[in-house]
Amino acid sequence: MKIFLAQQNYHIGNFDKNQEKIIEAIQIAKSKNADLIVFSEMSICGYPARDFLDFKDFIDKCFESIDNIKEYADTIGVIVGAPDINPVREGKNLFNAAFFLYEKEIKGIAHKTCLPTYDVFDENRYFEPAYNWDTIEFKGKNIALTVCEDIWNLGDNPLYRVCPMDILMQRQPDFMINISASPFDYTHDEDRKATIKSNVLKYKIPLIYCNAVGSQTEIIFDGDSLVFDKDANLCCQLPQFKEELKEIILNDDGTVDAPVIEPAAAVPGLIFEPLYFTPELNISQVYEAIILGIKDYFSKMGFSKAIIGSSGGIDSAVTIALACEALGKENVRAILMPSEYSSSHSVDDAEQLSKNLENPYDIIPIKNIYEEFLDGLKPVFNNLPFGVAEENIQARTRGNLLMAIANKFGYILLNTSNKSELAVGYGTLYGDMAGGLGVLGDCYKLQVYELAKYINSKKETTPAGRQVIPGNIITKAPSAELRPDQKDSDSLPPYEILDKILYQYIERVQGPKEIKSLGFDAALVDRILKLVNRNEYKRNQFCPIIRVSPKAFGTGRRLPIVGNYLD
């Protein structure tokens, strides 16, 4: 059987565009005499549609798209993902479904059984789990059709009471097809592949896995669609972070007409979770994910130009370099806003960065504006000593200038805060925490340094032989430069220690006893965890963050603002 995998980038609610993309792929597959084409989970409307699913009009448009698409499913079978109506009064109104179209009809519908509610997922909010399970007959073959999470209920601690494939195997299917919208994180490639292979090892039939690609606000879908033959050999793997239309031949004996990429082997475990923080881990994937996140956020929102505050520090330098790659150097405007506390080398470094990248930049000193603020506040401040308030006025002055230019010229302000800073509240609300998209908000400080090194290794040097990100930016001690001789280390432990503690608490969800048992200073652990919890109110007001880790701030980590745990 000739089968096409359509790994595509959808736009939530853009029914015309999604439909056009799907039909175009069907036409290409038909021209190649394909028997079947497979699209990803919720391909009709985009995923996650969230509360759009509550609107009847939104659901009606999904069915209108299916009606239009099925006219092209005449000589070819088509599998698409979309919400389906639950006719039973009790329960949620919708199913998360895979529609099988053929001969211009809906020949079968598979409803998703396992509805994830962890991390960024909240499918129980919208969908009812499947009531019935059956295979789909097509051209003499019996297909076990499932949706995303339905193949993840394996291992020693299954999350769900029902394993759909166990039931479907009673119908003696010839092969499995799973349509998915599985988000990226820098640990997920390994356990996803292991999970899919485990299904093949368990059920002894081929599996075709089609995943979505593209960015939906903060969530990145990396594609990486896979095909395993009946012996659990990986025979086809589509690229990460790119759209692809791929043809495979599935033979009657369960083999695939393709060279084996990875031979079958025992799967050591279903979950790949690094026990210790490794900042360089899959840094090239992190880079590609952030590029895609920026690119899609702008294109899907209808924007083209970004503005970034350029301080001469590592975070703004990496953000500018990433934005130039994603949007084009001419579309990234850097604003240098030195104060009386800014070192001369910071300004020089920021200038050199933009010269290396060839992106436009402006220099707007804030000394006079800052002093006007202080003069206006003098009667109220009543000669109290210089402190955090004065430091934050500088940050908010810069935020105001950036937002003013953004408003004037239709830019999106990209925020440069990293995960280490956001975790402990080392940032100023409405100042350096302003922005429309958090580019580095899911990268710890040490990962930002690794990104800088990767960018320099990836890019050719400038005509003058310089690295793109000046070496001084990478090697100098980080500083907010809001008071004389300020260093991050004045307020925070070294990032080599801080990031390791934060990783254990945030990604691995370890408590203070477990973290201290790893050898960290007990008082420091208590202090850091207290800072993390106390600064939830700041993160709650922060912009969307491009998610690259297993546990990002935002929709995947939901903590109360007024809690008193570890405080």
Structure tokens at 369: 């504006």
Please give the pLDDT value at position 266: 63
Please give the pLDDT value at position 231: 96
Q: Tell me which of 83-87, 204-208, 221-225, 485-489 is least confident.
A: 485-489
Per-residue pLDDT at 341 exceeds 90: no
Please give the pLDDT value at position 269: 57
Angle between helices 283-301 and 445-458 (to 10 degrees): 90
CA 341 remoteness from chain centre: 36
DSSP 223-281: B--EEE-TT--EEEEPPBTS-EEEEEEB-TTS-BSS--SB-------S----SS--TTT
Give the tens place of pLDDT for each residue, 82-110.
999 999 999 999 999 999 999 999 999 99
If pLDDT is split at 50, 70 and 90, which confidence band does 115 have?
Answer: very high
The answer to whether 132 and 98 have CB atoms below 8 angstroms apart is: no
Give the tens place of pLDDT for each residue, 245-289.
999 999 999 999 988 888 877 665 556 678 999 999 999 999 999
- Mean pLDDT of all residues in 143-164: 89
Please give the pLDDT value at position 465: 64
Give the tens place of pLDDT for each residue, 387-405.
999 999 999 999 999 999 9
- Mean pLDDT of all residues in 24-51: 98
Strand bridging mode 94-102 / 105-111: antiparallel
CA 103 remoteness from chain centre: 37
Beta bridge mates, 211: 180
- Mean pLDDT of all residues in 117-127: 96
- Mean pLDDT of all residues in 359-373: 96
Q: How far apart are CA 442 and CA 286, in angstroms?
A: 10
Q: What is the pTM of this model?
A: 0.95
Please give the pLDDT value at position 88: 94
Q: Tell me which of 1-10, 100-109, 341-350 is least confident.
A: 341-350
- Mean pLDDT of all residues in 476-483: 79
Please give the pLDDT value at position 273: 75
Please give the pLDDT value at position 345: 83
If pLDDT is split at 50, 70 and 90, which confidence band does 484 have?
Answer: confident
* Ramachandran angles phi, psi of 251, nearest 5°: -85, 160
* Domains by residue range for the chain, with CATH: 2-249 (3.60.110.10), 283-488+536-540 (3.40.50.620)
Structure tokens at 439: 């580019």
What residue type is 461 in one-letter code? T
DSSP 508-533: S---HHHHHTTT--HHHHHHHHHHHH
Please give the pLDDT value at position 482: 74
Percent of the chain with pLDDT over 70: 97
Please give the pLDDT value at position 271: 61
- Mean pLDDT of all residues in 354-360: 97
Please give the pLDDT value at position 209: 98
Please give the pLDDT value at position 268: 58
Higher-scoring residue by pLDDT: 126, 464: 126
Beta bridge mates, 333: 307
- Mean pLDDT of all residues in 367-374: 96
Q: How far apart are CA 181 and CA 152, in angstroms?
A: 13
Please give the pLDDT value at position 461: 61
Q: Name the average pLDDT for the chain.
A: 95
If pLDDT is split at 50, 70 and 90, which confidence band does 533 have?
Answer: very high
User: Among all residues, which ones are annotated catalytic?
Assistant: 41, 112, 148
Per-residue pLDDT at 485 exceeds 90: no
Per-residue pLDDT at 156 exceeds 90: no
Higher-scoring residue by pLDDT: 179, 161: 179
Give the tens place of pLDDT for each residue, 462-476.
655 678 999 999 999
